[in-house]
Amino acid sequence: MRFITDRKGAEGLGSARAGTHHHWHMMISSALLIVLVPLFVFTFGIGLGRSHEGVLEYFSRPWPAIITGLTLVVVTLHCKSEAEEAIVDYVHGAKGKLLLVAVTGFAWAVIAAGLFALVKLAL
């Protein structure tokens, strides 16, 4: 017979002390996305349907390039944070740690590839 109290069984399962930080990070990125996504849609829509030279000329201006780059970075980091939260909640052990590394690597690879493509368009 085991004599474990409810408190003893719950030790170590408490707060990770990072919930508030994660919440504020998500609130700030969500607020940025409220502004950036419509700006990106309008900016991208103006450049849509142009010839190759027209697109190169359009994205060589600072406003479309900055809006596109900011949107890419904020959307990717927001999605990365949400995916990490789901992995922490539902996948445990070594598999969870490997998935966290994979998600982080994939997110930074997407950011690097997107910014590289944007620089190639802009320059």
Residue type present at position 103: V
Distance CA 40, CA 82 (A): 21
Residue type present at position 36: L
Summarize pLDDT for 87-111 with one digit per residue, the tens.
999 999 999 999 999 999 999 999 9
- 19 pLDDT tier (thresholds 50, 70, 90): confident
Mean pLDDT of 26-37: 96
pLDDT at 5: 73
Q: Report the mean per-residue pLDDT for the chain.
A: 90
pLDDT at 22: 84
pLDDT at 98: 97
66: Cβ contacts below 8 Å, ≥ 6 apart:
none
Residue 14 pLDDT > 90: no
Three-class DSSP category at 60: coil
Domains, the chain, with CATH or none: 20-122 (1.20.1300.10)
Range from 5-9, 57-61, 94-98 carrying the lowest mean pLDDT: 5-9
pTM equals 0.83
Angle at 82 between CA 79 and CA 98, to 5 degrees: 95
